[in-house]
Amino acid sequence: MTQTGASAEVYSTDESGTIDKGYGLHKGVLSPMETFAQSVSAMAPSASPSLTIPLVFALAGNGTWFVYLLATLAILLIGFCVSRFARMSASPGSLYTYTSDTLRPSLGAIAAWALLIAYIATGASVAGGALYYANVLLGQFFSWTPPTLPTLAIVVILTAAVAYRDVKLSAELMLWIEVVSVSLIAIVLALLLIHQGFKLDINQLRLKGVPITGLGPALVLAMFSFVGFESATTLGGEAREPLKTIPRVVIQVAILAGVFFVLCAYSEVLGFQGESGKLSDSTSPLHVLARKAGVSPLGTAIDIGAFVAMIACVLACTTAAARVMLRMSHSGLLPDLFGRTHKRYGTPGAGVVLTSVVMFATTAAMALRGVGGTDMYGWLGSISVFGFLTAYALVAVSLPFARKALGQHSHLVTAISWFTVLVMIACAFGSVYPVPEGPAVWFPYIYLAYMTLGMCWFLVRRNTIHSRRARTSN
């Protein structure tokens, strides 16, 4: 399965420890903290307590915290595999590069198309979330609901402009948005626990009444809270000392996010005890908890933070998707247009534009059919998970072969890699069985149809891909 002429991009570095493959990106402009910001913003951790955790609770009940613990363990396995690769490779292709330079070109193409839909669908998903919170906030302050299509257009155009203009500015904005949002959530939950008297919730700890059949689908939803945690790898050419910085960022983000989500899940379930409404039915759960903790103004601040954080996530996904397209173009999988960068800004302009157009077109089409922001968030997020699971699994498959090519074979790494693959397969199976109800039953077919089209395009471009691969190997 390994390629004997593996690209030097994965296995060679220059004296500074970075890779320069002539992508046209601004090299070494991002500090470790700004690189960290890319992964944090692509996850949009401040959005999960408001939108994703209630969805997980609807399926797992008192087991919500446990589901997030399992998701954290799964993400740490993925993080282990990604970080090991990130020590060897620095490229805008991210997980696609790791796979394509190790396995067969066809498997590399699968990883590329999977990662692309993952980032674009996540960006469109949180654009729907931003629409929802725009309605909540403007309805609360002005009793006015903004028009849907102009709101979506503003979100997408704003993020596209920033992503097109300056990756460094993008990173700085994303970092501060998430720091403020997560801090506000932590303050509310801490005050809530103080108000509750720090008592242990025995029902949660004993998983009382947790439906076993709901754990699989709940785990997939919980995984959506983490997806994008690896997106710092798309900044390989732009981060300082990427072979050191990016592996650390991947693991740090996985651990910090896991702790945050588990604590949020436990605290939210605990905080809603005694409330007339359920956590799963609340339109703004943290607003309710802030009121219960005696700090209602913070609830409004958190809603504002969630809205801005979702815009930051759209920005992060646009940044990541455009760089994946840049690498796909350099490998021959996409036309050369997407392999060019702006002479002044050093950003892949064509990729940014196409990514933004697809995000807007998708959400606009759904809005015209009467789909609300929360449904956009849940539906498109579910589709994106299939892409991430595919890319994660292929990276885990690739790792042992890449290390063997370097003479660094390890039975432990191999065992962890293949166990990670099994976990990804289990997560994918949990998303389709038991057979979900409503629109969710069509999500796997939509994803498979997209991947089929992508592989048909691979066959069209196959000769170009092979010729460029051979040239690079030589």
Spatial separation of the C-alpha atoms in residues 430 and 437, rounded to whole Å: 14
Out of 20-29, 232-241, 254-263, 301-310, give the one with best mean pLDDT. 254-263
DSSP 8-class letter at 474: -
Spatial separation of the C-alpha atoms in residues 162 and 173, rounded to whole Å: 10
The pLDDT value recorded for residue 6 is 39
For residue 239, report the phi and psi dihedrals to the nearest 5 degrees. Answer: -85, 150
The pLDDT value recorded for residue 455 is 97
Higher per-residue pLDDT: 119 or 92: 119
Q: Which of the four pLDDT bands, split at 50, 70 and 90, describes residue 12?
A: very low
pLDDT higher than threshold 80 for residue 25: no
* Residue pLDDT, tens place only, 410-452: 899 999 999 999 999 998 888 787 787 788 889 999 999 999 9
Out of 21-35, 129-143, 271-285, 349-363, give the one with best mean pLDDT. 349-363
Q: What is the pLDDT of the chain when averaged over all its residues?
A: 87
Q: Which residue has the tokens 């190997």?
A: 473
| Residue 93 · residue 23 · CB < 8 Å | no
Candidates 257, 249, 131; CA nearest to 185 is: 257
**Peptide bond before 434: cis, by omega within 30 degrees of 0?**
yes
Q: Taking residues 318-346, what's their average pLDDT?
A: 90
The backbone region for 103, taken as left when phi is positive above 0, alpha when psi lies in -120 to 50, beta otherwise, is beta
Question: By CB neighbour count within 10 A (0-12 exposed, 13-18 middle, 19+ buried), where does 297 fall?
Answer: exposed
How distant, in Å, are the alpha carbons of 96, 97, 333, 394 from that of 104? Answer: 12, 12, 14, 11
* Residue pLDDT, tens place only, 379-414: 999 899 999 999 999 999 999 999 998 888 889 999
* Residue pLDDT, tens place only, 125-153: 999 999 999 998 998 888 899 999 999 99
Q: Which helix (H) or strand (E) holds 265?
A: helix 242-271
Spatial separation of the C-alpha atoms in residues 315 and 156, rounded to whole Å: 8
The pLDDT value recorded for residue 72 is 97
State which amino acid sits at residue 408. Q
Distance of alpha carbon 85 from the chain centroid = 18
Tokens found for residue 156: 């997408």
The pLDDT value recorded for residue 168 is 65
Candidates 304, 272, 310; CA nearest to 291 is: 272
* Residue pLDDT, tens place only, 157-170: 999 998 888 666 65
Q: Taking residues 256-281, what's their average pLDDT?
A: 89
Query: Nearest 5 degrees, angle CA 94-CA 98-CA 104?
Result: 130
pLDDT higher than threshold 80 for residue 208: yes
Spatial separation of the C-alpha atoms in residues 331 and 426, rounded to whole Å: 31
| Residue 75 · residue 223 · CB < 8 Å | yes
Q: Helices (H), strands (E): how many in the chain?
A: 17, 0
* Residue pLDDT, tens place only, 27-59: 777 888 888 888 888 888 988 998 899 989 998
Candidates 194, 437, 234; CA nearest to 317 is: 234
Q: Taking residues 245-274, what's their average pLDDT?
A: 93
Question: By CB neighbour count within 10 A (0-12 exposed, 13-18 middle, 19+ buried), where does 209 fall?
Answer: exposed
From first CA to last CA, the distance across the chain in angstroms is 20
DSSP 8-class letter at 51: I
The pLDDT value recorded for residue 172 is 67
The pLDDT value recorded for residue 114 is 97
Higher per-residue pLDDT: 270 or 172: 270
| Residue 88 · residue 388 · CB < 8 Å | no
The pLDDT value recorded for residue 473 is 66
pLDDT higher than threshold 90 for residue 179: no
3 state DSSP class of 116: helix
* Residue pLDDT, tens place only, 224-236: 999 889 988 888 7
* Residue pLDDT, tens place only, 293-331: 888 888 888 888 888 888 888 988 998 999 999 999 999
Report, in this order, helix, strand and coil percent for the chain, each rounded to 5.
75, 0, 25
Q: Which residue has the tokens 């839909």?
A: 117
Q: Taking residues 334-356, what's their average pLDDT?
A: 90
State which amino acid sits at residue 346. G
- Torsion sign, CA atoms 249, 126, 48, 62: negative
For residue 166, report the phi and psi dihedrals to the nearest 5 degrees. Answer: -165, 110
pLDDT higher than threshold 60 for residue 7: no
The pLDDT value recorded for residue 169 is 61
| Residue 284 · residue 50 · CB < 8 Å | yes
